[in-house]
């Protein structure tokens, strides 16, 4: 069963890889003007002080392809190269025992995907360590007991998303465990429980897990781990209390093609964050599933299965109350998730200055679903949101976002060619009742702006007809911040472009934000031609994902405020089709660079 737990975790890890891109800097630019038939992706892996890391396994995988991708190992200079790649959007990951990838700053490297010709810089840092001893009350060591580290909050204090990594090590003959290679964050540590297999007898698999220092999950000690640091003496006084068994059978609502088997998780909520506390597997044609060593408490039981074609089926959360007795006979049915299909349309420009510019390839344009976290059903474990992964359109531009849990969605799309911009995301009309709904009422039979409004997806809904228009004629805007005498650059300063044409004030796709580099330079790309207000504003250092948040449908107020501030600042610029505006000098006068200047944008 442990193996299946790992498979489950591996699947989650994959999802994390798909949804959150790696830390890196991409320098794709003019090099793509003439897209080669095949090409290379190269790069360098360094540690936090910029020293090269050798023998790092780098994996480069075409986005959305079911293949394991290609791997390369870095040389003594930390360099790697993979050539002969067909054009696509690529996902790049790196692994080195004991190390973790530095967390990506979504504001300085907003794009998580790479393209042919990119040169990538990956930073890996030594992971954190938690170590301690597991003993019984009389002090004797508990030997070869599994000890697990669950990340509960990430380095920024946010509840961990999409199946937080669970690391497991067993104790040695002295009861000592050592879990290393941990990403920075807050953890709880447990010993024992939760596993059993027919191949070997687990001495502790039917016990309730004991959390450090010697408690149940509710009162577990929270341990903050920094990269490269060791937290020692996280000892566990093992309680060894027998847990309960929870068993039942999972079925699929789809009968045509039987799924290969089910992963079943028991999820509990602690301090507002759902944790997949137990995982088990029901093999294909199996007689059911069982959990062992379950602690008393309330859980949501969820069964899911992956079809070879790429679709998941998942059951609605079943509330289970474990109290002093085994639970048997649970029956859950996994149903298909929702989907949204549509097409990407490329709209060419007739402007003479745009002649001969490279068109983006459909295979490079990543279309990603983004769910509304504020309105998400609370009983769904976070990993459910990780199932609906970004996708690539086919050769005709058609795409399908599959495995979408019920909720509200918007879309992340990047044009991936220098002179193209994202013009609109729309439904032909409001396809109510099962279609998208909006904050405001929309007149019928008019295109429905799916960038400014959430699309509401109910359980199992299959919506079709979403049109994403990518138009030629994009401009770019580069420049430098002019500071007043004696003034310092704030740590997180953003340059914003907001639409100056009144009829565009509602167009969220004309709102842009870019982090100013330490040297005061800034660059904004893929901008629709037109008139903009330009303004620089500092945000709190804890802010991240500023552009994505600015474009959230519910942030209309924040956009209105920004527009108001920009109008007041009265700096206007006009961008012509395919214009590369450079050396722009933008004055910045910080009245009082206070933290949290834009509370509406932050969580």
Partner 1 sequence: MRPPAPLAIISAILLCCAGFCPRANSQTKPAKKNAEATVSGKVTIKGKPAPGVVVGMRSSQPAQFDPTFKATTDQDGNYRIGDVPAGSYEVAPVAPAFVISDVNNSRGQTLVITESENVERIDFELGRGGVITGKVTDADGSPLIEERVNLVPVDQRNQRGPVYAVSSGFQTDDRGIYRMFGIRPGSYRVAIGEGTDNFYGRFGRTRPAYRTTFYPDATDPAKATVIEIEEGTEATRIDITLGETVQGFSVNGRVVDESGKPVANVSIGLDRIVVDGNNTSSSGGGTGARTDRQGEFRIEKLPPGKYSVSIYPPPDSDLRAEPVTFDVLDQDVTGLLIKSSMGASLSGVVVLEGSRDNSVLAALAQSYVSAYVREGQNITSGRADRMKPDGSFRVGGLRAGTANFSLDAMRNVKGLTISRVERDGVVQPNGIQIQNAEQVTGIRIIVAYSNGSIRGVIKIENGTMPPSGRWFIQLTRPEGGVHGSITPALADSRGHFLIEGLAAGSYEVIVMASGPGWPQRPPNAKQLVTVTDGAATDVTVTIDLTPTPNP
Choices 121-129, 153-161, 348-356, 510-518; region in contact with partner 1 by CB under 8 A: 121-129
Choices 93-101, 384-392, 396-404, 504-512; region in contact with partner 1 by CB under 8 A: 93-101
User: Which residues, listed in sequence order, are joined to residue 256 by a DSSP beta bridge?
Assistant: none
Peptide bond into 274 cis (omega under 30): no
User: Which residues, listed in sequence order, are joined to residue 187 by a DSSP beta bridge?
Assistant: 151, 223
Choices 185-193, 195-203, 418-426, 480-488; region in contact with partner 1 by CB under 8 A: 195-203
Q: Does 2 bind partner 1 (CB under 8 A)?
A: yes
HSE-CB for 157 with a 13 A CA cutoff: 4
Among 51, 200, 219, 445, binds partner 1 (CB under 8 A): 200
Among 16, 35, 57, 249, binds partner 1 (CB under 8 A): 57
With a CB cutoff of 8 Å and minimum separation 6, the contacts of 408 are 371, 372, 375, 376, 454, 455, 456, 457
Q: Does 143 bind partner 1 (CB under 8 A)?
A: yes
Choices 15-23, 200-208, 246-254, 460-468; region in contact with partner 1 by CB under 8 A: 200-208
- For the segment 69-88, give every residue that binds partner 1 (CB under 8 A): 70-71, 73, 84, 86
Among 98, 157, 310, 587, binds partner 1 (CB under 8 A): 98
**Closest distance to partner 1 from the beta carbon of 178 (Å):** 5
3-state secondary structure of 409: strand
**Closest distance to partner 1 from the beta carbon of 265 (Å):** 17
Q: Which of 34, 76 has the CB closer to partner 1?
A: 76
Closest to 43 (Cα-Cα) out of 69, 14, 22, 66: 22
With a CB cutoff of 8 Å and minimum separation 6, the contacts of 220 are 188, 189, 190, 211, 212
Dihedral, CA atoms, 194, 200, 204, 208, nearest 10 degrees? 20
The DSSP code sequence of 118-152 is -EEEEEEEEPEEEEEEEE-TTSPBPTT-EEEEEEE
Contact 333, 396 (CB under 8 A): no
Among 285, 324, 356, 433, binds partner 1 (CB under 8 A): 285
Q: Which of 209, 473 has the CB closer to partner 1?
A: 209
**Phi-psi label, residue 554: left if phi above 0, alpha if psi -120 to 50, beta otherwise:** alpha
Q: Which of 199, 485 has the CB closer to partner 1?
A: 199
Among 49, 201, 323, 329, binds partner 1 (CB under 8 A): 201
Choices 267-275, 286-294, 372-380, 557-565; region in contact with partner 1 by CB under 8 A: 286-294
Quick one: 321 exposed, middle or buried, by C-beta within 10 A (0-12, 13-18, 19+)? exposed
The DSSP code sequence of 203-215 is SSTTBPPEETTTB
Q: How many residues bind partner 1 (CB under 8 A)?
A: 50
Count of helices and strands (H, E) across the chain: 4, 40
**Alpha-carbon torsion (110, 116, 118, 121), positive or negative:** positive
Q: Does 434 bind partner 1 (CB under 8 A)?
A: no
Q: Does 198 bind partner 1 (CB under 8 A)?
A: yes
Q: Does 203 bind partner 1 (CB under 8 A)?
A: yes
Whole-angstrom distance, CA of residue 190 vs CA of residue 379: 24
Among 197, 271, 375, 594, binds partner 1 (CB under 8 A): 197
Choices 49-57, 347-355, 364-372, 594-602; region in contact with partner 1 by CB under 8 A: 49-57
Q: Which of 198, 433 has the CB closer to partner 1?
A: 198
> DSSP secondary-structure letter at 34?
S
Taking residue 455's Cβ as centre, other Cβ atoms within 10 Å add up to 26
Q: Does 260 bind partner 1 (CB under 8 A)?
A: yes
Q: Which of 71, 269 has the CB closer to partner 1?
A: 71
Whole-angstrom distance, CA of residue 85 vs CA of residue 65: 13
Q: Which of 161, 178 has the CB closer to partner 1?
A: 178
Q: Does 395 bind partner 1 (CB under 8 A)?
A: no
φ and ψ of 567, to 5 deg: -60, -40
**Closest distance to partner 1 from the beta carbon of 136 (Å):** 8
User: Which residues, listed in sequence order, are joined to residue 168 by a DSSP beta bridge?
Assistant: 148
Q: Does 287 bind partner 1 (CB under 8 A)?
A: yes
What element of type H or E holds 18? helix 2-19
Whole-angstrom distance, CA of residue 559 vs CA of residue 561: 5
Q: Does 181 bind partner 1 (CB under 8 A)?
A: yes
Q: Which of 245, 376 has the CB closer to partner 1?
A: 245
Mark residues 337-376: x for contact with partner 1 by CB under 8 A, - for none. Answer: ----------------------------------------
Q: Does 125 bind partner 1 (CB under 8 A)?
A: no
Taking residue 109's Cβ as centre, other Cβ atoms within 10 Å add up to 16
3-state secondary structure of 465: strand
Q: Does 9 bind partner 1 (CB under 8 A)?
A: no
Using CB under 8 A, list all residues that contact partner 1. 1-2, 38, 55-57, 67-68, 70-71, 73, 84, 86, 95-98, 126-127, 129, 136, 140, 143-144, 169-170, 172-173, 178, 180-181, 196-203, 206, 256-258, 260, 283-287, 290
């Amino acid at each position: 069963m442990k193996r299946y737990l790992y498979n489950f975790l591996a699947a989650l890890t994959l999802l994390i890889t798909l949804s959150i891109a790696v830390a890196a800097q991409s320098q794709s630019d003019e090099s793509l003007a003439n897209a080669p038939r095949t090409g290379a992706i190269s790069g360098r892996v360094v540690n936090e002080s910029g020293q090269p890391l050798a023998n790092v396994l780098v994996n480069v995988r075409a986005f959305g392809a079911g293949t394991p991708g290609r791997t390369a190992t870095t040389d003594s200079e930390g360099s790697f190269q993979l050539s002969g790649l067909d054009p696509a959007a690529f996902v790049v990951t790196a692994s080195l025992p004991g190390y973790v990838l530095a967390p990506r700053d979504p504001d300085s490297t907003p794009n998580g995907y790479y393209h042919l010709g990119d040169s990538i810089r990956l930073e890996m840092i030594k992971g954190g360590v938690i170590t301690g001893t597991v003993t019984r009350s009389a002090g004797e060591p508990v030997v070869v007991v599994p000890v697990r580290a669950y990340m509960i909050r990430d380095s920024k204090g946010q509840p961990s998303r999409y199946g937080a990594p669970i690391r497991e090590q067993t104790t040695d003959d002295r009861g000592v465990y050592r879990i290393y290679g941990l990403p920075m964050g807050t953890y709880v540590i447990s010993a024992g429980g939760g596993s059993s297999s027919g191949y070997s007898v687990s001495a502790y698999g039917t016990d309730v897990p004991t959390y450090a220092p010697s408690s149940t999950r509710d009162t577990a000690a929270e341990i903050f781990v920094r990269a490269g640091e060791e937290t020692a003496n996280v000892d566990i006084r093992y309680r060894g209390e027998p847990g309960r068994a929870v068993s039942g059978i999972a079925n699929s609502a789809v009968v045509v093609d039987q799924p290969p088997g089910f992963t079943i998780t028991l999820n509990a909520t602690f301090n507002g964050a759902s944790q997949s506390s137990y995982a088990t597997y029901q093999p294909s044609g199996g007689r059911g599933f069982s959990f062992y060593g379950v602690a008393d408490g309330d859980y949501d039981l969820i069964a899911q299965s992956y079809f070879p074609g790429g679709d998941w089926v998942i059951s609605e959360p079943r509330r289970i109350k474990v109290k002093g007795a085994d639970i048997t006979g649970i029956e859950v049915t996994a149903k298909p998730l929702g989907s949204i299909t549509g097409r990407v349309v490329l709209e060419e420009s007739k402007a003479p200055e745009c002649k001969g510019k490279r068109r983006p390839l459909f295979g490079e344009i990543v279309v990603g679903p983004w769910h509304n976290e504020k309105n998400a059903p609370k009983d769904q474990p976070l990993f459910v949101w990780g199932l609906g992964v970004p996708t690539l359109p086919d050769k005709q531009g058609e795409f399908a976002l599959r495995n979408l849990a019920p909720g509200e969605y918007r879309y992340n799309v990047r044009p991936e060619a220098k002179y193209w911009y994202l013009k609109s995301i729309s439904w032909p009309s409001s396809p109510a009742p099962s279609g998208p709904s909006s904050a405001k009422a929309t007149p019928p039979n008019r295109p429905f702006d799916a960038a400014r409004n959430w699309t509401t997806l109910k359980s199992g809904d299959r919506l079709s007809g979403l049109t994403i228009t990518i138009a030629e004629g994009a401009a770019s805007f580069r420049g430098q911040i002019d500071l007043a005498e004696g003034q310092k650059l704030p740590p997180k300063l953003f340059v914003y472009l907001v639409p100056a044409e009144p009829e565009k004030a509602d167009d969220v796709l004309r709102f842009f934000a870019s982090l100013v580099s330490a040297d005061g330079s800034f660059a904004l790309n893929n901008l629709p031609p037109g008139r903009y207000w330009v303004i620089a504003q500092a945000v709190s250092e804890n802010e991240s994902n500023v552009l994505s948040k600015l474009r959230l449908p519910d942030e209309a107020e924040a956009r209105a405020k920004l527009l108001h501030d920009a109008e007041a600042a009265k700096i206007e610029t006009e961008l012509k089709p395919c214009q590369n505006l450079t050396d722009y000098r933008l004055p910045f006068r910080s009245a009082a660079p206070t933290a949290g200047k834009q509370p509406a944008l932050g969580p």
